[in-house]
Amino acid sequence: MVYGAFGRSAVDYEQRIDYDRLRRERLARAQEQMKKDGIAAIMSFGADTIRYLTSYWVTTPLRQAEFQMVFCPANGEPILFGGGTPSEVERRMPWMKGRIRPSLPNAYISSSSADSPAVQIHVDTVIKLMEEFGIKGETIGIEGTALSMLYAEAFARRGVKAVYAKQTLDNARMIKTVDEIELIKIAAALTEKAFAAVVDAIRPGVKEHDLVGVALQALYEEGIDHNEALVVMSGYNTNPYNWCFTDKMIRPGDLVYVDVNGASYQGYKTCVYRTFCCGKATPRQKEIYAQALDFLRSGIEVLRPGKTNYDLMKAFPQTPEVWGWGPNDWGQVDPYCIAHGLGLGLHDKPLATPSYVRSGQPEIEFQPGMVIAIETYAGKVGEKDGVRLEEMVVITENGNEVISRFPIDELIECWIPY
């Protein structure tokens, strides 16, 4: 089933996103991967994993502090610990009826050893649940916590083998379901409203952080539930490549590149770069833009079934000298031409960077259902200007579909008073 033509509101006259199917298929993929990896259950404090397994949204201030935890057996339904007022969460999430429990004592803030009372309470709780699901003594996977070593030690003392489960969950999430892809397409469309607002706002005197605010307003108007800070770099901040924003004032002739990254629509992230010019662009600026676009399109050609992340890197420059660095200075240009998966995480699998390939990490074949953000850069060291471009791409049965549609064929000139 292919979506992409419909609105976002629930209606009775079209088949749109099926949330029951979304939840069911995500859980099934996670449990299938758990069984494949020999993991009987997972305990995770990671916001993306909690959402993938239960659809519960962990609000931003609670993510790092690990106030929520999900326990998910490979042979049963997940159980959520924490989440505001548990009875109210259960009322709003009826598919989790009977499986939302009060928070356990916070271990992240208070624990420095496996002997911590909070760590022990978590371990006792998980071991008891494993007994209830008939998986006593089997392997537990731990994910999404800064205390994984403490938990692993505490489980080992109880005779339970604990393993790091991030790769298990990353592999489960690597290929998206039809409903996930539709949510990501909606998220990609929202970036276009943000870019349109940015183009209208670019003019002399506007600061980089002003454009961040303009884009965020457009995104939140459309219902995003979270956003990372956008990248907005202008003028001399564009070369060498930087990714942040400052209070620098944009001036006539400045290039401005913008990344709408991490805009989260129902959990699913965006990552799209565009580069603009404040006023008329010079021939050299257009030349740099064309080079970055050529890199990008060469890479997109490789994003198809049967090709790999290693093949993708072969489509990009094979020496740092293209950017003006020394022949072996890969460390300076590692992020210049890259690709990464998108989903509930801003950096899902697969990943492709020069350092990934050069270090011999796993070669991953592109498969239908993967969603890839591919980004490139051009700009000679010592010059003023740099260009960053990026697209969001879905791998399809017969090739790929670029789902980010804001114009990219040529350098857009903003604020043309003459």
Which domain CATH number covers 182?
3.90.230.10
Q: What would the two tokens of residue 104 be? A: 């356990």
Asked, for residue 287, whether it belongs to a domain, the answer is yes
Q: Tell me which residue has tokens 């791409």.
A: 393
Per-residue model confidence as pLDDT tens digits over 278-319:
999 999 999 999 999 999 999 999 999 999 999 999 999 999
Tell me: do 244 and 138 sit in the same domain: no
Per-residue model confidence as pLDDT tens digits over 130-173:
999 999 999 999 999 999 999 999 999 999 999 999 999 999 99
Tell me: do 201 and 310 sit in the same domain: yes
Instruction: Count structural domains, the chain.
Output: 2
Tell me: do 160 and 75 sit in the same domain: yes
Residue pair 377/259 in contact by the 8 Å Cβ criterion: no
Asked, for residue 25, whether it belongs to a domain, the answer is yes
Asked, for residue 10, whether it belongs to a domain, the answer is no
Asked, for residue 4, whether it belongs to a domain, the answer is no
Cis peptide bond prior to 240, omega within 30° of 0: yes
Task: Please identify, among 173, 202, 230, the residue that sits at the C-terminal boundary of a domain.
Answer: 173
Tell me: do 251 and 197 sit in the same domain: yes
Q: What would the two tokens of residue 32 be? A: 């299938």
Tell me: do 127 and 244 sit in the same domain: no
pLDDT at 328 over 90: no
85 contacts: CB under 8 Å, gap ≥ 6 = none
Residue 1's pLDDT band, with cuts at 50, 70 and 90, is very low
Tell me: do 302 and 368 sit in the same domain: yes
Q: What is the pLDDT of residue 4?
A: 54
Tell me: do 194 and 165 sit in the same domain: no
Tell me: do 303 and 375 sit in the same domain: yes
Q: What is the pLDDT of residue 364?
A: 98
Q: What is the pLDDT of residue 5?
A: 53
pLDDT at 183 over 80: yes
Tell me: do 227 and 97 sit in the same domain: no
**DSSP three-state, residue 335:** coil
Tell me: do 128 and 225 sit in the same domain: no
Per-residue model confidence as pLDDT tens digits over 239-282:
999 999 999 999 999 999 999 999 999 999 999 999 999 999 99
Tell me: do 253 and 395 sit in the same domain: yes
What is the average pLDDT across 63-85?
A: 94
Task: Please identify, among 142, 173, 204, the residue that sits at the C-terminal boundary of a domain.
Answer: 173
pLDDT at 373 over 80: yes
Q: What is the pLDDT of residue 248?
A: 98
Task: Please identify, among 129, 144, 173, the residue that sits at the C-terminal boundary of a domain.
Answer: 173
Tell me: do 72 and 203 sit in the same domain: no
Q: Which CATH number goes with the domain that contains 132?
A: 3.40.350.10
Q: What pTM value is reported for the model?
A: 0.96
Asked, for residue 54, whether it belongs to a domain, the answer is yes
78 contacts: CB under 8 Å, gap ≥ 6 = 27, 53, 54, 70, 71, 72, 99
Asked, for residue 185, whether it belongs to a domain, the answer is yes
For residue 197, what are the domain limits? 178-414
Asked, for residue 13, whether it belongs to a domain, the answer is no
Asked, for residue 3, whether it belongs to a domain, the answer is no
Q: In degrees to the nearest 10, what's the CA dihedral of 136, 140, 145, 146? A: 100
| Cα–Cα dist 240/237, whole Å | 7
